[in-house]
Structure 1
Amino acid sequence: MSYRKLTLGVLLMLFGLPSFGQRPNVVLIYTDDLGYGDLSCYGSKIIKTPNIDKLAENGIRFTNGHATSPTCTPSRFALMTGKYPWRQTGTGILPGDAKMIVPTDKTTLPKVFKGAGYTTAIVGKWHLGLGEQVSKNWNSEIKPSPNDVGFDYSFIFPATADRVPTVFMENRFVVATDPNDPILVDYKQKVGNDPTGKENPELLKMIASPGQGHNNTIVNGIGRIGWMSGGTKARWTDEELTFTFLERAQNFIIDHKKEPFFLSYNSTEPHVPRMPATKFKGKSGLGYRGDAILQLDWTVGEIVKILRTNGLYENTMIVFSSDNGPVLDDGYEDGATKGYGGEQLGAVRGGKYSLLEGGTRVPFIVSWPNKIKSGVSNALMSQIDFVASFAGMLNQTIPQGDAPDSENHFAALIGTDKKGKEWLIEGNNKTAIAIVKGDWKYIKPNNGVAYYKLVGIEMGNSQELQLYNLKEDIAEQINLATKFPKKVRELEMLLEKMTAK
């Protein structure tokens, strides 16, 4: 069996890493639908995010950092597995009752840390499926779960906040189940007698956007995707989601402060339904989306605070990023479309769902006071490389065939290498897909819609060849395909070669 590995001695010599006893804690803060221009450290003039800005000020702010895909499930799959989502079927946006899509017998990001003696935890959004099949008993132990792919501790909700079941899960069990009030979940037909947004709109405290499917079972005054009955005591209150997740994350940090740990904190902000806590409502002047971003920024500050209080901050590596680009109207009328005018994208175009840069170019910040010199990096970075990069940092082996698309770019993560990846692929599937190499981007011709009217986003789809020079035209407005046919063919052949593997 062959392995990809960097010896600890080589790493120490090249990057000046701490000795085994001084390994950094690692906290991944993974946000949901946060745009490239949503933070003041990335140029936003309409919202201030001082706590995230401080991370960037004390670390490296990457200007060319990417999720692999413009939607959540595929990006999260790639981050966890080091494998492009289009290499495995069933990695599209999952319903809340989906079966687990992360293999239990392969290398994953948390398994890399566990192999190096770290204690691992995930708190927040999961959305990678649970159990071995769609039909599952939500009132008993559910396997496989995050605990079966490398996390020692998990406190999650199963999918997204706009999908049922609207419950917390701790390790393999739904929190606060009641045998006299069993939970039922269905995505094909209504179960139980709970009111729905479609049948009882008068009960809603947040109106659903027309045609987007957020009009099924009402929980906490909000219509969801899918139907649910039972579990009355187990259902969450949206305004308390972040406080609940934050408390669990803080407790994990405190409980494991004397040993190296890896914590994946997967925030729900600013994904819909945006229902921030009362203390943040109306604070941004940008509707609930802006308020949710302020809540996210506060949460980051609280995580940093608990690290500082426990003497862990200086030797903790914090990685901050998003699963895909921004979207304003994605299911609910919450004031976002009135508050924003494109600022959430910064200089790029597109957004969530899109092949344009706004789909995958996201905030990407790495802070590690003991080791990283602050600055800005233009290195080409992808979340798919987290598995191999942290394996390299921790002197862990990756068996051949595992994490097939992950490369070790740890040097770029800590600012030693200014170039990063040679190329990366963007997209959810082999039909709608793009490749970036250096300054050049090629979008494969496809028959998809050019403009997604329901959410108001340019998709980057076209039946014509598309070639852009991102250094000179980050907004992808000047198609150079006819001017540089050799470059088109070069990138076309590389994309064909990599997707054929």
Structure 2
Amino acid sequence: MKRNFVLSLFVLFSLTLAAQTEKPNVVFFLVDDLGWNDIGTNGSELYETPNIDALADGAMYFTNAYAAYPRCVPSRFAMVSGQHPARDGRKDGAILPLSTVTIAEALKTHGYGTFFAGKWHLGHDVQEFPQNQGFDVNKGGCAAGAPGSYFFPYQDTKKSKNNVPFFGLEEGKPGEYITDRLTDETIRYIHENDPKKTGKPFFVYLAHYAVHTPLQAKADRLAYYEKKVKKMTFEGESYVFGPDGRAKMWQDNAIYAAMVESMDESLGRIVAELKKLGLYDNTIIIFTSDHGGLSNSGIDNNRELATTNKPLRAGKGHIYEGGIKVPVFVRWPGVADQKSKSSAIIDGMDYYPTILEMCGLPLQPQDHLDGVSFVPALKGKTINESRPFFWHETASRPGQTGDHACSTIRKGNYKLMHFLEDNRIELYDLNIDPFEQHNLAEELPHVVKLMDKELSDWKNEVGASVLKEKNKVEKKDKPRKEKSEH
């Protein structure tokens, strides 16, 4: 009798272990400040991304994928929370409340091991870092939005704002490159937490600091790209100057190119480790960026610019397409593991419910309030084409990236931008004008009226922040000219 009981327990344990290990692992690979055009798949002639391109050959490419915000903190908030960054009056720079149920906490509840490496930027104190937001392990996640240096020690004591501990990376070898170090830590975790040994699937969230400033690269790769740039020819002006500042028109920054290659190499090493351990065919891989590339600087700002998002308009900080459109590739073994494309519109808030559904877990709409699963699109089906998408920023940065407070709605092919300081409206048909060169606001007043009302209603519904009166421009003032080529 006792023997039968023990045997039954063993069988039950074995079945439970098998059920857990059958759940897919997830690798979420997030790049910082990588523009939509900064990869080989999208036609870059300078940047070399063979590993991203290889992933694209066995994944679904989303051609209408957006960041929830054109800057780091709100965009990252949306990814881990499944909520719009404008909800409840949140502003750029707000922390992730401990009360928020993150994607890591949701997966952990269902037996997943959870690992974070890289840029967190969603809390000021250690209590608000990843290890207290659902991640079992945190390597590098802290308050900093960028390292003081990409080479160890990563803190720059000359810049007090960046002189913060990089949690879990306090020790290292002099000259060690942070992109490589984060990759090493990720591979170590995958190796030590092989589900065949632990009985638990894993969720890896690798959020590289690359390719954010400071622009710093490994010497050998920098030398290679300096030579490559010298051999290239470029058309037109290297910069375009407008009423809001400067926009970079060429991909000719050798340092940035070398940083992109190091990031791409990281993806290749992780994929190789998954294959080596026999985990590749049971691991979902999601590749994306937090927003567009750094291509614009404000008036009288001569900062070094990393890239151009051309032919898309503008870049980081702006709600034009260059600031919010991002590359997204999803490899889902057995479902989306062949080269394919989807024109479905998706947003950074949508990863949370999508990952849950891909893992066969129940959705948690009470937590991911605004995110919508795009699993139907991954299965080749049409998703809700009437769903509106919203962006809202009340923080203007005319001296940094040249952007201004703006609320935006995209619905179907139309995109309406309501600039809050001067009450200016711009309307674009992205199906025929993807580079936002022809403002249709005066030609289609009925569309403007309907979309602007829907935008206003949404802001009231989510409790979006309101622009302070002192920042508004009097109507009698001469309106700014529209940018012609960003």
The interval holding the TM-score normalised by the smaller chain is 0.7 to 0.9
Residue 251 of structure 2 is aligned to residue 310 of structure 1: no
Distance in 2 of aligned mates of 1:412 and 1:42 = 21
Change (3 A) 1:335 1:106: closer
Distance in 1 of aligned mates of 2:437 and 2:142 = 39
Deviations 1:81-126 (A, max 9, x none): 11111224554247xxxxxx22223321112211221111111111
Indicate which of 292, 300, 305 corresponds to 1:325. Answer: 292
Superposed CA RMSD in Å reads 3.2
**TM-score, with structure 1 as normaliser:** 0.72
Within 5 A, what are the aligned runs for 1:71-86? 71-86=71-86
| Contact 2:374/2:383, CA 8 A, preserved across alignment | no
Change (3 A) 1:86 1:125: same
* Matched length: 399
**2:223 corresponds to:** 282
**1:402 corresponds to:** 367
**1:62 corresponds to:** 62
State the 1:284 CA deviation.
2.5
| Contact 1:35/1:324, CA 8 A, preserved across alignment | yes
Distance in 2 of aligned mates of 1:71 and 1:391 = 25
Distance in 1 of aligned mates of 2:435 and 2:225 = 27
Distance in 2 of aligned mates of 1:39 and 1:110 = 28
Mind listing any 5+ residue stretches in structure 2 that lack a counterpart? Answer: 1-17, 227-252, 396-404, 462-486
State the 1:228 CA deviation.
4.1
Indicate which of 110, 134, 138 corresponds to 1:154. Answer: 138
State the 1:489 CA deviation.
1.7
Change (3 A) 1:254 1:328: same
Residue 74 of structure 2 is aligned to residue 50 of structure 1: no
Distance in 1 of aligned mates of 2:328 and 2:393 = 20
**2:111 corresponds to:** 117
Change (3 A) 1:239 1:446: farther
Distance in 1 of aligned mates of 2:164 and 2:267 = 34
Within 5 A, what are the aligned runs for 1:74-223? 74-89=74-89, 91-93=91-93, 101-131=95-125, 142-160=126-144, 162=146, 218-219=156-157
State the 1:390 CA deviation.
2.3
**1:438 corresponds to:** 412
State the 1:20 CA deviation.
6.3
Identity rate, percent: 28
| Contact 2:151/2:175, CA 8 A, preserved across alignment | no
**1:298 corresponds to:** 265
- Higher-Rg structure is 2
State the 1:369 CA deviation.
3.5
Match of 1:378, SS state, is: strand
Change (3 A) 1:360 1:235: farther
State the 1:350 CA deviation.
1.0
Distance in 2 of aligned mates of 1:263 and 1:229 = 24
**TM-score, with structure 2 as normaliser:** 0.74
State the 1:354 CA deviation.
0.3
Within 5 A, what are the aligned runs for 1:384-463? 384-397=349-362, 401-417=366-382, 422-429=387-394, 431-447=405-421, 463=423
Match of 1:63, SS state, is: strand
Change (3 A) 1:224 1:65: farther
Match of 1:28, SS state, is: strand
Distance in 2 of aligned mates of 1:166 and 1:287 = 16
| Contact 1:71/1:93, CA 8 A, preserved across alignment | no
State the 1:383 CA deviation.
1.3
State the 1:229 CA deviation.
9.0
Indicate which of 420, 424, 431 corresponds to 1:471. Answer: 431
| Contact 1:162/1:225, CA 8 A, preserved across alignment | no
Match of 1:64, SS state, is: strand
Higher alpha-carbon deviation: 388-397 or 262-271: 388-397
**1:360 corresponds to:** 324
Change (3 A) 1:474 1:230: closer
Deviations 1:340-383 (A, max 9, x none): 5x3xx143111000010111101111112332132111110111
